[in-house]
Amino acid sequence: MEYKINCIGVFTSGGDAPGMNAAIRAVTRAAISNGIKVKAIYRGYKGLIDDDIREFTTQDVSGIVQRGGTIIKSARCMEFKMPEGRKLAYENMVKEGIDALIAIGGDGTFTGARLFAQEYNVPIIGIPGTIDNDLWGTDATIGYDTALNTIMHCVDMLRDTATSHERVFLVEVMGRDAGFLTLNAAIAAGAEAAIIPERATILEQIEEAIGQGRRKSKNSSIVLVQEHAIDGGAQAVAKMMEEAHPEYSTRVTILGHLQRGGSPTANDRILASRMGIAAIQALLEEQRNVMIGVQNDAIVYVPLTKAIHEKKDIKADKWAAMQILSI
Ligand code: ADP
């Protein structure tokens, strides 16, 4: 029997990321131009369970390419983790005439998608939307570049005050279990050190950070701390630092949710646009349960299982760059 997709459902789920709107726009326009109907599912899996679903035309996605956040909202949905929740979601999908799903989100979103696809034989294509860049199989995720730039600008501003005082400034950066944002922002902003979960022990990294400052006879240092490098984040690092080196006065800045905001950079808009179109192309090629990735500037299809379970490494040359550039 020929397999035909007449209607897709698109949703954003989990942590929001700048560029998600550009992806929704691309998915919608690519689908419609291929004669496929588009239904927007509000608040991720929650909208699927609550039947909070509306058909989108090309006009519904006008004027959003430059907007941060997601116009169809995002949510975390505990009910979808239960079989009864997923059953309701499937019943609504059938009721709405949705043949396939485009899931824009991160690790958790894809874990749910994979399970749902297995249980109900639903074709699902994932689009990586997360500032953390922690999904295997893609060089970048939507939102990462924008967040990186936001953090860099914040650290630039902090440096102005840091150089006026003899202090160690600890800046807490998001990233879930991954240090990509922290390390790359540290390189871009010329920080003295980055403390990330993937490398060495925290105490060693603190000594290193202080050592770097001292070698340069600097009167102030900026150290970026990944939120989960240690329980308690940058505050905990500050405490350890002050205990080991009472001569240093520390100041903690937690960037928090502002890292998720703002208008997406050109790179994120382009990435989201390409990935949105590729997701529809993948469905037309009868791909299922893959994530759209980009490797060496080419679109690739990555099995959802691999995207979730394989671990993306910190590039050795970037870690080395951090050490070399902070002497
Ligand atoms: P992200 O996609 O940004 O990693 P979350 O981890 O919060 O965000 O996941 C988003 C949503 O995906 C959750 O609220 C839940 O509805 C769904 N989800 C996550 N993990 C699972 C799972 N193991 N089984 C079913 N659904 C899940």
pLDDT digits 0-9 by tens, 215-255: 665 667 899 999 999 999 999 999 988 888 888 889 999 99
pLDDT at 215: 61
Show which residues are catalytic. Answer: 132
| Average pLDDT across the chain, whole number | 93
Beta bridge partners of 272: none
Spatial distance between the Cα atoms of 291 and 293, rounded to a whole number of angstroms? 6
Atom 27 of ligand 1: nearest residue by CA position: 112
Dihedral over Cα of 209, 211, 213, 219: its sign: positive
Take atom 26 of ligand 1 and give the residue whose Cα is closest. 112
Most ligand 1 atoms within 8 A of CB, residue of 12, 13, 305 to mutate: 13
| Ligand 1 center–CA 105 separation, angstroms | 9
Which range, of 141-150, 203-212, 274-283, averages the lowest pLDDT?
203-212
Cα 186 from Cα 108, distance rounded (Å): 27
**Residues 170-189: what's their mean pLDDT?**
96
- Nearest partner of 209 among 228, 199, 197, 222, judged by Cα: 222
pLDDT of 1 strictly over 60:
no
Instruction: Pick the atom of ligand 1 nearest to 116's CA.
Output: 25
Distance 199 CA to ligand 1 centre (A): 27
R_g over Cα of the chain: 22
What residue ranges in 137-227 does DSSP mark as E strands? 168-173, 193-195, 221-226
Span 37-86, pLDDT tens digits: 999 999 999 999 999 999 999 999 999 999 999 999 999 999 999 999 99
3-class secondary structure, 215: helix
In terms of pLDDT, which residue wins out, 207 or 98?
Answer: 98
> pTM of the full predicted structure?
0.96
For residue 272, the CA-to-ligand 1 centroid distance in Å is 21
48 touches 95 (CB < 8 A): no
- Counting from 1 in the atom list of ligand 1, the atom nearest the Cα of 105 is 2
- Report the pLDDT value the prediction gives residue 162, as an integer from 0 to 100: 80
Residue nearest to atom 12 of ligand 1 (CA): 109
Ligand 1 atom nearest to 110, measured from its CA: 2
Residue 75 Cα to ligand 1 midpoint, Å, equals 9
- The pLDDT assigned to 199 comes to 85
Q: Which of 4-18, 143-157, 159-173, 185-199 has the lowest mean pLDDT?
A: 159-173
Closest residue to atom 10 of ligand 1, CA basis:
14
| Range scoring the smallest mean pLDDT among 24-33, 175-184, 191-200 | 191-200
> What residue's CA is closest to ligand 1, atom 6?
108
CA of 319 from ligand 1 middle (Å) equals 30
SS3 assignment for 90-114: HHHHHHHCCCEEEEEECHHHHHHHH
Pocket test for ligand 1, best of 46, 76, 78, 82 (most atoms within 8 A of CB): 76
CA of 112 to the centre of ligand 1 (A): 6
Above pLDDT 90, what percent of the chain? Answer: 83
- In three-state form (DSSP H/G/I as H, E/B as E, the rest C), the secondary structure along 266-324 is HHHHHHHHHHHHHHHHHHHCCCCCEEEEEECCEEEEEEHHHHHHCCCCCCHHHHHHHHH
Instruction: State the number of CA atoms in the 13 A half-sphere of 168 facing the CB.
Output: 31
What local confidence, expressed as pLDDT, does residue 59 receive?
A: 97
Q: Which residues line ligand 1 (CB under 6 A)?
A: 13-15, 45, 76-77, 80-81, 105-109, 111-112, 115, 130
| Residue 101, strand partner residues | 9, 124
Closest CA to ligand 1's atom 16: 77
Atom of ligand 1 nearest to the CA of 106: 2
- Give pLDDT, residue 168: 87
CA of 274 to the centre of ligand 1 (A): 24
Q: Predicted confidence band at 174 (pLDDT cuts at 50, 70, 90)?
A: very high
